[in-house]
Amino acid sequence: MRVKNLFSVATGAFLVFLSLLACSIVLAEESDVISLTKDTFKTIVEPEKLILIEFFAPWCGHCKALAPEYEEAATALKAENIKLAKVDCTAETELCAEHEIKGYPTLKVFKDGKASEYNGGRKANLIISYMKKQALPARTAVNIENFDTFKDSDDKVVIGFFNADDQKEFNIFSQISEELRDDFVFGETGQKEVITKAEVKPPAVILYKKFDEGKNVLEGTFTKEELTSFIKKNALPLLAEIGQDNYASYVDSGLPLAFIFYDDDEQRTDLGKEIEPVAKEFKGKVNFVFIDATKFGQHADNINLKQTWPAFGISLPDENLKYPFNQSKEITTESIRDFVDKFVKGEITPSIKSEPIPEKNDDSVFVLVADNFESVVFNDTKDVLVEFYAPWCGHCKKLAPTYEKLGEVYKNVKDKILVAKMDSTENDLPPKAKFQIAGFPTIKLFKAGDNEIVDYSGDRSYESLVEFLDKNAHNKVDLESSTPEPSSSKEPAPTTTAVKDKHEEL
């Protein structure tokens, strides 16, 4: 009897296991994301008015992180009749090559079979919002029946109010709605009942938003620049968390960006209480954001702050200018107000990180630092070839012996052509350098005379570097007596190592 009971229990457990396994298989198959292959791609995609496709690789970490967000968005968008699909590029190599997929994940929006780049975020709510905007016309006609529903249809909705004689402003509004349709929902109206209900005098534009004061109003005549600035500056919250999904929006606003670094929720709350009054006072002049130091702590280096928390600093991303708040001082409402006030008035000079100028600089490759960059590079008499590198960069280490050989050959003519390098992890570019370094190594030629900058994009062989200087340098030199035997091998086409570390990047 006992054996029989045990057999019954074991059999029951096994049946439960099979049942659970069957359920898991069914659940695994029940996805609202359509899997596409070369054979099904055209038949599924081309008939759709709108569809979003993710090109991915199963081993890709970013793809794995996107997967649940993408699935959630696909389920939510079913109600809008907007489909989401995916292509496994490890299985569909030919299909992915046809669509010029260079990295993973790559998302593309297809409208009637025609592809365009996806410029939205990677969280479910951001994917949903972006695709809903794509389904709408650039502008929606607003009337008294749909006004309330429409102005609350998204986190940020822009409505223009016009009379018959406001053609100039209407044309500007129409143009802006086309340019910014990926980021905002636009509506337009000339109906008197709506204008009365909105309590505006045309021409007028209202930005309705589900945060802060709820709406911003622009009344009277405006230029394209004024309308663009009005929308972008008011579309950002007073104090919000910054991350990979919204960093570009803050940069695009054109305002200085004040970072509040914190490493736990309690610290974030305390800092918010101190800084919120300052953020309100300088709204429209400086954007304030929280930044999680446990994820993005390395970004403090980009503002010349030490990685100790809390910390505060202001940056001008487009100009690569940095204004770190003194970390020996306490972050209080008064201290931050004083710092931001002086910054806005132009009373604070930007911080430029630099290694000491070398006492001796007679090696084959000249060592540049921030403090001697302008005097050496921006001159009238010599061409200067500069490698911007990072000590940890594998591609830079591989280039080093070739670059040293190049410097040795040009050493005897360094009064005409100087071969130099700069550690970009320890030295900032001065304000006069109107460019930023996006990856390592980056090689640029600063020409004598007019200081024109020429980017090097050839392979990283000795021969190609010499050929580049022969072709592009302002000064012409004879290397016949000093050139060593050329290398018989060439390196592959160059790649650059993006600036990265153990923290996530913005």
Q: What is the pLDDT of residues 259-282, one digit of tens each?
A: 999 999 999 999 999 999 999 999
- Of 23, 89, 96, 393, the catalytic one is 393
Can you give the pLDDT at residue 494? 52
34-133 topology per CATH? Glutaredoxin (3.40.30)
* DSSP string for residues in 301-342: GGGT--S-SSEEEEEETTTTEEEE--TTS---HHHHHHHHHH
96 is catalytic: no
Domain boundaries, the chain: 34-133, 138-234, 239-345, 366-472
Q: Which CATH superfamily is domain 239-345 in?
A: Glutaredoxin (3.40.30.10)
Is 393 considered catalytic here?
yes
Residue 89 is a catalytic residue = no
Best CA proximity match to 364, nearest among 441, 422, 420: 420
What is the pLDDT, as a whole number, of residue 317?
A: 87
Strands ordered across the beta sheet of 140-141: 140-141, 185-189, 156-161, 204-209, 215-219
Please tell me if the domain spanning 138-234 has the same topology as the one spanning 366-472: yes
Q: How does DSSP classify residue 361?
A: -
- Which string of DSSP letters, residue by residue, matches 200-265? --SSEEEEEESSTTSEEEEES---HHHHHHHHHHHTS-SEEE--TTTHHHHHHTTS-EEEEEESSH
* CATH 3.40.30.10 corresponds to the domain 366-472: yes
434 half-sphere exposure, CB direction, 13 A CA radius: 4
- The answer to whether residue 396 is catalytic is yes
Binned average pLDDT, 10 residues per bin, the chain of 506 residues: 43 45 46 95 95 95 94 95 96 94 93 90 91 90 97 95 96 95 94 97 97 96 96 94 90 94 97 97 96 95 95 92 96 98 96 95 95 93 96 95 96 95 94 86 95 93 95 89 46 50 51
Question: What pLDDT, on the 0 to 100 scale, is given for residue 496?
Answer: 53
Query: For residues 299 and 503, is the Cβ–Cβ distance under 8 A?
Result: yes
Which tokens hold the place of 234? Answer: 């008011």
**List 23, 60, 89, 96, catalytic entry:** 60
Specify the pLDDT at position 491: 43
Are 242 and 290 in contact by the 8 Å Cβ rule? The answer is yes
Using DSSP bridges, classify how beta strands 106-111 and 140-141 pair: parallel, antiparallel or unpaired.
unpaired
**3-state DSSP call for residue 144?**
coil
- Please tell me the distance from the alpha carbon of residue 215 to that of residue 206, in angstroms, as a whole number: 7
Residue 132 in contact with residue 82, Cβ under 8 Å? Answer: yes
CA 26 to chain centre: 38
Q: Note the pLDDT of residue 22.
A: 44
Q: What is the pLDDT of residue 175?
A: 96
CATH class of 138-234: alpha beta
Cβ atoms of residues 477 and 413 within 8 Å: yes
Q: Which two tokens stand for residue 113?
A: 């079979």
User: What's the pLDDT score for residue 25?
Assistant: 39
pLDDT digits (tens, 9 = 90+) for 16-34: 444 444 444 334 458 999 9
Can you tell me the distance from the alpha carbon of 389 to that of 404, in angstroms, rounded to the nearest whole number? 14
Tell me how far CA of residue 484 lies from CA of 350, 364, 447, 473, in angstroms: 44, 14, 25, 20
Among 23, 63, 89, 96, the active-site one is: 63
Give the per-residue pLDDT at 433. Answer: 86
Beta-bridge partners for 316: 321
Specify the pLDDT at position 479. Answer: 80
CA dihedral 226, 229, 234, 240 (to 10 degrees): -170
> What's the CA gap between 4 and 274, in Å, rounded?
72
| The pairing of beta strand 33-35 with beta strand 83-88 | parallel
